[in-house]
Amino acid sequence: MSGRTDHTDSRLALYDPTRHEALRASAWDAVRARTTIDEIVRDAEAHFSPDRYWPLHPRDLAPDDDPNLPATTLYFGACGVIWALHYLQARGAARLERDYLDQLDALRERNRAWLASIGSQDFAAYLMGDTPIRMLAYGATRSEADAKALATLIDDNREHPARELMWGAPGTLLAALCLYELTGDERWAAQFRDTAAVLWSQLEWSEKHECAFWTQDLYGHRTNYLDAVHGFVAAAAPILRGAHLLPAADRDAWLSCIANTMQRSVTRDGPFANWRVFLDTPPGRAPLYLMQFCHGAPGFVICLADHPDAALDPLLLAAGETIWKAGPLTKGANLCHGTGGNGYAFLKLYRRSGDPVWLERARAFAMHGIEQVAAEREHYGHGRYSLWTGDIGFAIYLWDCLHGAAAFPTLDVFYP
């Protein structure tokens, strides 16, 4: 296991304080949490357009993005908002004014047009492609045509070189698992096992760190990310959830592999712990430590808190203490790199340990996030309409805080 960092103040080296802000000391208010969920849902419904879906938020636009193309993806577009609205309704958290599932055929075509505009044919991508749009349609109709299309997407993505959640086989591994959980159909379990076998065959071994890892071919670069979107942990989450579908020897090998990489790649400082962005830092650069779902301890806790090995408890709890020490993120309340996403780590630790302090901390982050949502809406004049980077994902976090649940949207649950 790796030890302390080389910095004099190693605790500060575990995260960048400039990316965080002081926690506002607001008492937990269940009524306000429910009211905020209602406000977010009403705002989303009021701003929907069949032509444009939802207004693009400045924070979700890169400098070279075409602002005239509607956002369509599960990650930060219409698919994710539609999924979230119907999920909240199914959970009893909202009552919608209309059904948005009639948009799915057109949405799939528009999403393909967006992919074409960036030179991509990654239609199977879980967070960016056809797969979640087809999954929504299949959940509503159980159409065999959608089932066959999904089976083809999962098959076609099995050898994708990215080996991460957003574009690669771990995303379609997760899709196969969700489809199996919905239907109990063995064909999805077989696809889960087949994809897991390919990922196992692609593991590499680091003599330096004495652990397994994947190389990701992503955006024209070869890297070895560790994180919960683009890295090792992104595949570990569906493997853990679907471990019961694997032969016993394969299941045990996976559980040992995941635990070992988690332990060998961590950086500890007394009661604190975090994971660097890359297993091997690129030459000439200092190790990079972030503290958000997509890079760092929150993603590790969220993805690995269901690992059955109790020997991991001290490491998970140390990660939780570091998330709490760092405080809320300045990038808003969102799930991917915001306060709500970090708060889900506390909910996971509450479910694993039963210690109410973690639920209290999750709810403290929830109250802070409520203020962040309100401030951003006032600043920009409307909400941020995105599941992973916007308000609707935070609304789901509030609902889980109300009930002490810990189902991270579209990672732990797709079909309610």
Q: What is the 3-state secondary structure (H, E, C) of the chain?
A: CCCCCCCCCHHHHCCCHHHECCCCCCCCCHHHHHHHHHHHHHHHHHCCECCCECCCCHHHCCCCCCCCCCCCCCCCCHHHHHHHHHHHHHCCCCCCCCCCHHHHHHHHHHHHHHHHHCCCCCCCCCCCCCHHHHHHHHHHHCCHHHHHHHHHHHHHCCCCCCCCCCCCHHHHHHHHHHHHHHHCCHHHHHHHHHHHHHHHHCCEEECCCCEEECCEEECCEEECECCCCCCHHHHHHHHHHCHHHCCHHHHHHHHHHHHHHHHHCEEEECCEEEECCECCCCCCCCCCCCCECCECHHHHHHHHCCCCCHHHHHHHHHHHHHHHHHCCECCCCCCCCCHHHHHHHHHHHHHHHCCHHHHHHHHHHHHHHHHHHHHHHHHHCCCCCCCCCCHHHHHHHHHHHHHCCCCCECCCECCC
Nearest to 316 by CA among 363, 258, 368, 365: 258
pLDDT value of position 67: 77
Q: Judge whether 150 and 134 are in contact, CB under 8 Å.
A: yes
Enter the tokens of residue 237: 């989450």
pLDDT value of position 1: 35
Task: Inform me whether the pLDDT recorded for 166 exceeds 70.
Answer: yes
Enter the tokens of residue 345: 């780590």
pLDDT value of position 9: 39
pLDDT level of residue 197 (50, 70, 90 thresholds): very high
Task: Inform me whether the pLDDT recorded for 371 exceeds 80.
Answer: yes
pLDDT value of position 27: 97
pLDDT level of residue 25 (50, 70, 90 thresholds): confident
High-pLDDT (> 90) share of the chain, %:
92
The answer to whether the pTM exceeds 0.85 is yes
pLDDT value of position 12: 46
Average pLDDT over residues 345-368: 98
Average pLDDT over residues 300-308: 97
Cα separation, 194 vs 200, in Å, equals 10
What would the pLDDT profile of 98-140 be if each residue is shown by its tens digit?
Answer: 999 999 999 999 999 999 999 999 999 999 999 999 999 999 9
pLDDT value of position 61: 85
Query: Rounded to an integer, what is the distance from CA 412 to the centroid of its chain?
Result: 9
* Number of residues assigned to the chain: 416
- Identify residue 133 by its one-letter amino acid code: I
Cα separation, 111 vs 375, in Å, equals 31
Cα separation, 111 vs 189, in Å, equals 28
Task: Inform me whether the pLDDT recorded for 248 exceeds 70.
Answer: yes
Average pLDDT over residues 203-224: 96
| Mean pLDDT score across all residues of the chain | 95
Other residues' Cβ atoms within 10 Å of the Cβ of residue 331: 18
Phi and psi, residue 2, nearest 5°: -70, 150
Task: Inform me whether the pLDDT recorded for 324 exceeds 60.
Answer: yes
The owner of tokens 């930060």 is: 76
What is the C-alpha end-to-end distance of the chain, expressed in Å? 39
Average pLDDT over residues 149-164: 98
Task: Inform me whether the pLDDT recorded for 40 exceeds 50.
Answer: yes
User: Taking the C-alpha atoms of 202, 205, 206 and 209 in order, what is their torsion angle to the nearest 10 degrees?
Assistant: 110
How buried is 409 (Cβ within 10 angstroms: 0-12 exposed, 13-18 middle, 19+ buried)? buried
pLDDT value of position 63: 81
Average pLDDT over residues 303-309: 97
Residues 72, 73, 76, 78: is their CA dihedral positive or negative?
positive
Phi and psi, residue 213, nearest 5°: -160, 170
pLDDT level of residue 65 (50, 70, 90 thresholds): confident
pLDDT value of position 64: 80
pLDDT value of position 114: 93
High-pLDDT (> 70) share of the chain, %:
97
Cα distances from 201 to residues 50, 125, 185, in angstroms, run 44, 21, 25
Please, which residues have CB within 8 angstroms of residue 76's CB and are 6 or more apart in sequence?
A: 60, 386, 387, 388, 389, 390
User: Taking the C-alpha atoms of 187, 190, 195 and 197 in order, what is their torsion angle to the nearest 10 degrees?
Assistant: -170
Average pLDDT over residues 390-413: 98
